[in-house]
Each structure stands twice: as structure tokens, then as C-alpha cells.
Structure 1
Amino acid sequence: MPTDPQTPAEDSLIRWRRGVVVRERKRWRGAVELDVEIEGRVAGEPDRQDARAIAYPALVGTPRAGESVLLNTTALAIGLGTGGYAVVIANLDRLPDDREGLGHLVKARYTPLQATVLGVDEQDSPHHDTIAGATHIGLMPVVVADLHSALPAILAGIQATSAGLKVAYVWTDGGALPAWFSRTVADLGDRLAATITVGQAMGGDHEAVSIHSGLLAAKHVVGADIAIVAQGPGNLGTGTPWGFSGVAAGEAINAVNALGGLPIGALRISDADPRGRHVGVSHHSTTAFFKVGLGPVRIPLPDSLPDELARSVASDLADRPDRAVLERVDTSGLDEALRTSPVRLSTMGRTLDEDYAYFLTNAAAGRFAATALTTA
């Protein structure tokens, strides 16, 4: 019997649970990690189970020990690596205070947790006229990467080459939407001049509607010398040619070209990934930069890859379009820069030494951006 369209199904796409806060574990910029005791309510789950939970005070306030909370446990149930938390939806004992002076830019629109922020590009913003009048980013180097884990390595390459440069991170919405989720961004601190969250992402130092206005804000509001564009943690991939969130890296290359910047593609290179499609140059990079991206792009390559990996990379890049220009990068000093990073380097659970080529390639992209800026 067909479902009556006037009577929505009761089955939920979210696993809703009640819980009690046991203790606060730690906090970082925009987030609080909690120990919670979750009440099971379906067959097969224990009556009570302990778990880690994360709360974003800007959305739900700061829950205290002993308070009852409403939780989304979907990520726990499916075992997400980067998102394996219960997420606090609401404090059932105490409502947070209203925040005054909000803007009109709504993110997570028409969901139960839609939030209003002040965007750099909206009329009430003090930066509205700047963004409205800006048409280009003046050859600013923009390093575009597939994964959030590339961020600290790219930054290490930039700062090892020219320590005084201002770098802005433009956070796209292919992964985690709240920038508060990232310990990397929090721990990098003032090494980043600003984080700008675009699209449905939120929680940056500045908010913007699109990647284009986010890049304009990086140049004209933050005053950045270089921008890094990547999604937040939690890349979504399906093992299909086009079904991965990193295709947005190619769209970012198009945006950089549209705004007159210098687009730089940070390749995803590995000889440690157990999945064949990501060995050598990942198909994520070749699809994003050579098929989705339709304009010129510089592709930095470290000069010190192991011979076998270098041959694999050369083969993977042999059919690249003419608009993708390879740039050989001297890697002297980059090993030390990576090893002295203020944040732990990890990608897909692999450390610096376990996937060294990945991090070195991203550092080389950062070095190329800094060199391009200083030699322009």
C-alpha cells in the first residue's frame, strides 16, 4: 500500500537518544568534549552505555555534569572514524541564552539546527561594501587540497619558506560543517590569520555564502598573502569515479581562476594507502584538478620522491591536460618543518612516517605558493 503523502513516516534518519553528562573531558575553540551515559531504547542496545559526546556551545550552550541531553548517535552507530562522537542536539534541563546581534545568513538551512550567522557578504556586515566592490584577488596564490589533513602540511611548507606570510584557510562544506570540530585549526592558532567558513560550513572567524566571496574575504578582509582551500574533516567517498566530496576541489580551482588568482593543486600522493585508486596520484586529485577544474592550475611535485613512487606518479600524470603545469619543488628543509609542526600530522589514520609522501607533497605545494608570491 503506498504511503499517504500527508502522513510522513515515523522512522527517523537520525538515531535519537537521551543521555546524562558524566563529566567534561576537554575543550578547544568552539567545542566541548564530554563523557555521557546514553540511554538505549531499541532492542540489542544496553540499557546504559558510556560514550564520548561533543557539544558546540554556540549552538547548544555548554552542558554540565548531571544535566540531561538529547543526542544524535548516528555517527557512533556506523563507526565513523573522524566523526565518532555522539553529538549534543539540546540540553533538556537548561536552555542557552539568546545571542544578540546575529546576522541574516542562515546555515544548515531548514534543518532542525539551522543557525543564523553574520556573513561578510551580507548587507549588515561591516565588510559588505568591501566584498561588493571586489572583483578579483590579484594573483594571490591559492593552494587547493582534497583533504583537511593537508592543511598543516601545506602551512608548514609556506612558513618554512617565508615565515612572515599571512595565510587564510577557506573551509568548504564537503566534510565537517562546524569549524569548531577541528582540533587542527584550534591548535594552529595564530599561525592561520583567519578561517573562513563557506557554503553550509560555519564557525570560522568569518562566514561567507560561497567559495568566491570566501576567497575575496581572504584577500580583502583578512589581508592574506596566500589562501588554502580544503574541506573540513570527514571526506565522503564511495569508491565511484565521481561520488566523493573532494570533487569540490576542482570547483575551487575554477573559482580561483574566475577571480584572477593563482590556482595551485596539492596532489594527493601516497605509496601507503591500501586502496589501489589512491596509490600514486589519487583519482580524487586527477578527477578534481583535470576534469572538474577547467582552467589553468599549477601542480607542485617534490623533487625527492622514492624512485618507484616517482615512476608511478609520472605515469598517473602523463595524460594530464596542457593547462595543468607541473612544478618541481626543492624539498630541502621541509622534513624538519613537518616534524616540528605544532599539530599532529595524520591522514586516514596514518602518521607522517607512515604516509610520508602525502605530507611532503602538500608541504611542497605550500613552498611553491610562498615562492610564487615572493618571485612575482
Structure 2
Amino acid sequence: MKISVDRSVLLPALSVVGGVVERRQTLPILGNLLLSADDGLLRLKGTDLEIEITSTAVCEVEEAGTATLPARKLTDIARSLPDGTQALIKVQSERGTVVSGRSRFTLSTLPAADFPTMEVPAPEVMVEVDRDVLQRLLDKTSFAMAQQDVRYYLNGVLLELSSDRAVAVATDGHRLAKVVATLDDANPDDSGLATEPRQVIVPAKTVLELKRLLGSAPDRVRVELSERALKVDLGKTQVVSKLVEGQYPDYNRVIPADLERVASIDRDRLRAALQRTAILSNEKYKGVRVTFETGRLLLQTQNPEKEQAEDEIEIEYNGESVSVGFNVAYVLDVLSAVDASTVEVRFKNAENSAVWQGVGAEDEVFVIMPMRL
């Protein structure tokens, strides 16, 4: 294989596929990228056996071929080259060379035949979604997904697709985020979508990679679902991922109903007050006592050193005094996900979960369980 490629084209493509490569590998080949060159295109592929990302870059192909090169070293080399330079990449036998100007780098390779490729079954569902819709679904829910929970089905985002809407849900057992989006009529009848929703659990790493890549994706992206795999076509980039197996809990049962008490709070004032009081909260549990009183909200924190912080802001609330303990970080995450300037909190007492929503955003629901302080 012998190609010439502009640094301004190579580096973005390497950054796209390199994100999936872990620093520590169980197999040496997983530390490499698969490079395939023909017909004026360089195709790059990286994988960790759970997720696979492929991207393309325009290049001059002198000799077509396929090879693998170390992902991080190749990316660092491309990043170190001056803007506007060309890189000549040549792979022969067990050695690869990268030449640019007076700079020359020799890299070890591994056989391209050993590079693992994920099998993608024929899709059962194919749907085109606005990039901004998919970005919103993931951005506003992913913060609530579990991290390395033994309940493996919580380590990701539930994506629920039907003929007219998409729902994303994430929970770690202490909080829950649910966002609903309406799908347009651009999808054909043979998309595989039915009125009965199709549910899949997208792994946490795949969710984070998609969030990273969607910003530079075209306006429309294609989502393909099969029994055990998800494929997202982002134009020059394709993401293939295994799905988390298991039954996701019924999220509707987690969202409390009949919450008779409602408070309206300025989002930015609440965020600032929480950030101030969190300074003296318990570093491990990050708890804050929130007391709803007529016309005002009291916030109190303390730590094992008996240090205390108190703050107070005005709110719209008319009812009896109720004190609830919340994790400060959980509330701040919700406030970051809310676009509206005013947040509505519906609650019952100190023992029940509270529902948080931006005013006018009925399709976004955030649930936070109380904590004992």
C-alpha cells in the first residue's frame, strides 16, 4: 500500500476512528487501525470488539492495499505535522513508513488479515432521523445512565423507536431521564417501524462516541437495528455497535404520578445557589437539604467536619413546608439538561421521588430519588 494524503484530511479521520481504541488492549491488533486504500479513498477502521467505527479520507493512491498501523502513534504523528503538508504512507512487509517533508517515521505493523471485523446482520429496522433529534435524545439522557453497574442493562441508554416517535431513557437506579421526540414523515413504510415500539439498549461507550461524532454529521443520519446490533450512518462515518442484552425496566413505573405539590424555580439562580452550598457538602455523598416554603427555597449542607452552608432563593410555591434531601450533582445534571429558564419541580414528601421539568418541555422528564441526610 502506498498513498499520499493531506494532513488536514487525514487527522480528522484518525480522530474519528481513534476514539474507540482503548489504551490497554487484550489483543495487540486492537491497538491498531485497519487502513484500506483504493479508488482515491482511504478507509480507516478502529474497534474494541464491542463497537466499530469506520471513516474515509480522500487521498492519492499509488498502490492499493490493506494494512494495519498503531492508532495512537499514527494520530500523534499526523497531529505533529505542520498545517498544509502532505503525508506519504507506505506499508511493505512488516513495516510502515510515514514521510512528510524531512520527517520520516517507521512503524511496526500487524497482519491485516488478523484485524477483527464485526458482523452486521441484515437490518430489521431502518429509519432516518434528524441529526439534532438524535443528538438531543442522547445529550439529555446519557448523564443518568449507570457506570459499570452489575445490572448491566442499566449501563446504556434505552432507545425506543416506533412509526411516529423516538424515546430515549436512562437510569442508574437513583435518577431517571426520559426524552420523547416526534419522527417526521420522511421514512418509508418499509422502514420496519410499527406502531408497537421497538426497544434496544445502546451501550454507554457507543452513546458517548455518537455524542462526539454527531456534531460533525450531516443533517440526516440513518439508524439501522437488527437483533443484536446497531448501525448509525453519519455520512463519511459509520458506527456499528453490539447492543446490551437484557430487559430494561418499565420506566413508566419509575415516574411518579399524582404529585400534588408544585414549585417553579429560576434555573440559573438555583444552579448558582447549589454550587455555593455544595462547597461545604459531604465530599462523598454530596447531599443538600432543600426546604420548600411559601415564596422561598432554603438550601442547607454540612460535612463531617461540622461545617455548614446555607442559602436562600425566591421561588413560586404556595404550600406547607417540605424538606427533601437531594444529591447536588444529580440536580445540577438536570439543570444542565433543561433548556427553559424556569424549572418546575413536582413532589409529594421527603420519601418520594421528585419530577423535574423545564417549563413548557412536557416531552422531557427527569426524576430524582430523595436521599437521607
Could you tell me the TM-score, scaled by structure 2's length?
Answer: 0.27
Kindly name which structure, 1 or 2, has the bigger radius of gyration based on alpha carbons. 2
Which one has a larger percent helix, Structure 1 or Structure 2?
Answer: 1
Could you tell me the TM-score, scaled by structure 1's length?
Answer: 0.27
Bigger relative CO (Cα 8 Å, ≥ 6 apart):
1
Which one has a larger percent strand, Structure 1 or Structure 2?
Answer: 2
